[in-house]
Structure 1
C-alpha cells in the first residue's frame, strides 16, 4: 500500500501539471522520506552536511534564502487545506521510485537539529515536488542536480541502472548458496562496509581477471587486466561482463581461499608476532563480499588479482573450464602460493617495499604466475593423456 506524508507549507504554486513548488516548514518536515531516487546516502561527517547544519541552527530564519531547496518525487499530491499537502509515495517494493531526489543531507540536518532541541519554528525551505515521474526520469534529475560535494562515478553508474545485471545475478546466487553479499554500489551506502573488497568495482576487476579473450600475454598490448578503477560501463562492456558473470563465483572463491592461506601463514606458531609478507597489516581487518568471510588482517584490495588472473589459462574461448574447476583449483592455488606468490611477498618485505598497490601491480609477478599456470595446465593435460592411454592398454589386456 502507498504511504502518505504530510508537508506543512506557507504557500505553494503549480509550476506545471506535474510539478509543485512550495515553501515548507522545517520544524515539521518529515525526516523518514525514502531516499530511493537519490544517488547517494547522506553522510553526517561530510562538509556538505556540516555547512547545512550550521546554517540551519545558526540563523534558522534565513535558511530559506541561503539554501537551494529540496527536490522530491511522489506518486500523487493531495492538498488537505491551504497549509498542508498530503504526499503519496510508492516505494521500490511497490514498483515506485519516489522519495528524495536531491536534499538527503538537508533532511538529515533537519532531523538532527530537532533532536538537539533547536527552535526551527522560523525556518523554511523551498521544496520542488515532481509528480508521477518514471524511474528513468527520476534518476535523470538526480544525476543532473547540482551538489556542493562531488558524487563518485560509481554512484552515477548505479543511478543509471548500469549495475542491474550484477545485482540480479547476485540475488540469484544468494538464493542458490543461501548466503548474503555485502556490496557497495553507491557513495555512503548504509549497510555496506567500507572495505574496498566490497566495492562493486572490485567484482568487475575479478571478472576482468578471468577474461582470457581480452587479456592475453601473447598480445603486444593489454597482456594483463588493469586493476585501476574504471566504473564507466558502456553497452559493449556490459555485454562482455555478462558473459563473464558465471565465472564470478569462482573468482570470489579463489580470493577467499587465498585469504585463508595468508591467515594460516601469519598465524603459524613459528611466525607468531612477526609478519614476513609485504603489504599485510595485522592491525587492520578485511571483509570480503560474501558475508561469511572476515579476516583479522588488512591486505590490499588487489592482492588476489594476479592469482585470479592466472586461472584464465584454464578457460577456453567460450569461458568453459578446460579441466573441471574442482579437480585442480585448490591444488593449483597452493602451488602458486608455495612456489611463487609467498616467496615474492617475502622478498618484497625484505626489500622494504610496503606500498600494497605497487606490489600487487608489478607486471613481473603477473607474467610469472601466468607462465606457471601454462606449465601447470600442460602437466595436467599430459597426465590425463597418460592416464587414458593406460586405461586403453588395460582394456586391451583384459580382452
Structure 2
C-alpha cells in the first residue's frame, strides 16, 4: 500500500539534523492558515480533539482575528503543530506568489501523524473549511522524520501532550475526585506511591492508574467485539473519560488492588513465562533481546514494581505488549450482584476470585506473549503499531478465552 502524501504550501522553511540520531531531521515551516491542509493523520495524537473548551475558543478567535490582537501575529503567540512523518520532500512545482510546496509522507497504519497540536489542527481545519482563515496568519509546523524507532512516537506524543493532562489531574485532585482511589489503596499504603497532581513525587502517575483501570472497563468493552486500545493509544484521553464518567471507574474499586497487582505481575513475570515456553519458536530465545522487553541500562538500579512487594528485576515487559495482555484478563471480571451500585453500574468482581486470575496467568502467560510477538514479527516489527492494533488486542483476548475454556472444561 502506497504512502499517504499531503502537500503543504510553505512561506519559509528550514531543516535541522538531529544531534543524536543519524538520519533524523526536523523541518520547521511557516504555513499560511488559509491554505493549511485538511488531511494530516491524527493517529499519533494521544487525545481526541475537543475544541469546545474556553481556551480553544480563544485560540480560534485569535486565529480568525476576532479579538484585539494585532493582525499577523498568530504564529508568534502559538506554539504550532508537531508532526512525525516518514519523509519530507520539496515539490518541483513553483508558485508565482513565491510560496514553495512540500510533500509530507505517511505510511499506512504506521501511527505517524500529529503528535502535538491536534486541537489547533482542528481549529485551523474548521476555519479553512468555513473560509474564515486569514491569508496573513501563519501556522508553525514542526515535522520530524527519520526517527530510529517507531515506539519513540508514543514517548514524543506523551511528552508533548502533558499540559492539559497535568492541569486536569491537578484540578481533579484539588476537588478530591481521586479520593475513592486513595481510600481503596490505603490498606496497602499504595496511595503514597502515586503522584496525584502536578509536582508531586510518586513511583507511578495517576494518569497511568486511570489508563490501567481503563483496560478493565467491562461496561464499554464487555466481550471480544471491541477492546480498550485507547488505554495505550490515547492514554491521556482517559483522564477526560474519568471526568465525564467517574462511576465507570468507581465500580472497579473492589478489584483495584488486584488489577494493579496483576499489572506488575505481568510486567515482571513475562521473562520467566517467555523462557519457560522456549520463546516464539519453542527453541529458546533471550527475553532481554526482544523489542517488547525493556532492560536496565548499565549502572542503573533494577526495575521496581510498586504493587509487588520486594520484587525487582533487570527486565520488564514494555507497555505496547503489557497493556493488551493485561486487558485480556477482563475476561474474568463480572458484574457483582452484591452491595450498592456505583451510579448506573454494579460493582465488579472476579468470576472465580483473584487467585484464579493469577493461576490463569501462570498457565497462559507464555502463550499470550507468543501471540503478541508473532503479530509484531509478521506485521513490520513496529512495536508501537502492534500496541495500537485492535486486531492484536482481539487475538490475545481470544487466545486467553480458549485457554480459560479448556482449563474449565477439564476441571
Q: TM-score, normalised by structure 1?
A: 0.49
Greater CA radius of gyration, 1 or 2? 1
**So what's the TM-score if we normalise by structure 2?**
0.48
Structure with higher RCO (Cα < 8 A, 6+ apart): 2
